[in-house]
Amino acid sequence: MQNPIRTINAVAPTRVCDIGGWTDTWFAKYGSIFNIAVYPYVEVQIKCYRTKEGSPQLKVNLENFGDSYSLEPHSIKYERNPLIEAAIDSINLPEDLSFEINIYSSMPPGASTGTSGAISVALIGGLDALTDGHLAASEVARLAHEVETVKLGQQSGIQDQLASAYGGINFIEMRQYPFAAVSPITVPNSIWWELERRLLLIYIGAPHNSSRVHQKVIERLGEDASENELFNRLRALAADAKNSIYAGDFTRFGRVMDENTEVQRQLHKDLVCGPFEDAISICKSYGAMGCKVNGAGGDGGTITALTDGDMAKKRQLIKTLTESGYEVIPIYLARQGLRVW
């Protein structure tokens, strides 16, 4: 078996607790978003070989699904796994090498934590290491966003790719879609550690389709929702989230999370489904200070809960959620975004 002449590793975090989400879309036109990058991240490993006649130039391994197949990098069709194929097609690969790409994430598919964006960011960042020069974080995020919106024609806001590329806790100001400024929120370790300790990510056990959920909201609000009162409220909540974290005010932050989820309910009746409401009710019975339905919401995905700091109570909550059929996904705050080596 041929040994690789070079191995490239790339990891990119996912994100939770996206306050102000929906205002990062083309139909919002401008927006403000607060979010938190977390592990588990997406892992990409690229093994590079000298091209061997008769062998495929590109092999893709989707470790989570036990799926492997070959592609010709200069004639890629977005058929088998369009997101991955379109991301690979975003970078011009050297013709004198062949590649084996392995992709893995321990975040469940359709978890509404920006995993699709993280896959594109990690793939583009890793493949970029094979080219002359290097893309900046903003450039990687832009290309990753174009994978979904331009190459695949799907609905997608800009926040997921930015959170994955930059990492950390961020306040994103989108002046005009899709152009945005990312402001990292730097807090003392005591606030960082306490926030990490209190957060809980709950998967309700059913994946969702973000693009389809976006379409429902567009149909209800129209193609210009820029001055919709609910979108204005979401923009204000993103600023409130930023300020509450700077202040280390978890009571205020929890209230913002709850208010954001209430606005999601008002945006469309299908955004906060019955299992979400049930999981939120369980969290509240254990004193959770706030619950945010992540991402676009819908009939599947995850909730971020902010517990009250009592760790014994948090462990009991995890036990109850698990017994109720929900999955609690361990998360850690990601200080860094895309890493390539």
Which letter, b or e, does each residue of 191-218 get, where b requires 16 or more Cβ atoms within 10 Å of its Cβ? bbeebeebbbbbbbeebbbbbebbebbb
Beta strands 58-62 and 97-105, pairing class: parallel
pLDDT string in tens for the chain (341-residue length): 589 999 999 999 999 999 999 999 999 999 999 999 999 999 999 999 998 877 778 999 999 999 999 998 888 989 999 999 999 999 999 988 999 999 999 999 889 999 999 999 999 999 999 998 899 999 999 999 999 999 999 988 999 999 999 999 999 999 999 999 999 999 999 999 999 999 999 999 877 666 777 788 888 887 788 999 999 999 999 999 999 999 999 999 999 999 999 999 999 998 999 999 999 999 999 999 999 999 988 889 999 999 999 999 999 999 999 999 999 999 999 999 999 99
Predicted TM-score of the model (pTM): 0.94
- How far is the CA of 236 from the CAs of 171, 172, 173, in angstroms? 12, 12, 12
* Structure tokens that stand for 166 in this block: 């930059």
Ramachandran angles phi, psi of 206, nearest 5°? -145, 125
The DSSP call for residue 2 is P
For the chain, the average pLDDT equals 94
Q: Facing residues of 304 across strands? A: 201, 292
Question: Could you give the residue range(s) of every CATH 3.30.70.890 domain in the chain?
Answer: 189-332
- How far is the CA of 246 from the CAs of 19, 308, 318, in angstroms? 15, 18, 28
- Report d(CA 185, CA 233) in Å as an integer: 21
Note the pLDDT tens digit of each residue in 85-120: 999 999 999 988 999 999 999 999 889 999 999 999
What is the domain class of 6-186+336-340 according to CATH? alpha beta
Note the pLDDT tens digit of each residue in 294-314: 998 888 999 999 999 999 999
Question: Could you give the residue range(s) of every CATH 3.30.230.10 domain in the chain?
Answer: 6-186+336-340
- Report d(CA 72, CA 60) in Å as an integer: 11
Ramachandran angles phi, psi of 289, nearest 5°? -85, -20
207 within 8 A of 301, measured Cβ to Cβ: yes
- Report d(CA 8, CA 315) in Å as an integer: 38
CATH T-level fold of 189-332: Alpha-Beta Plaits (3.30.70)
282 within 8 A of 317, measured Cβ to Cβ: yes
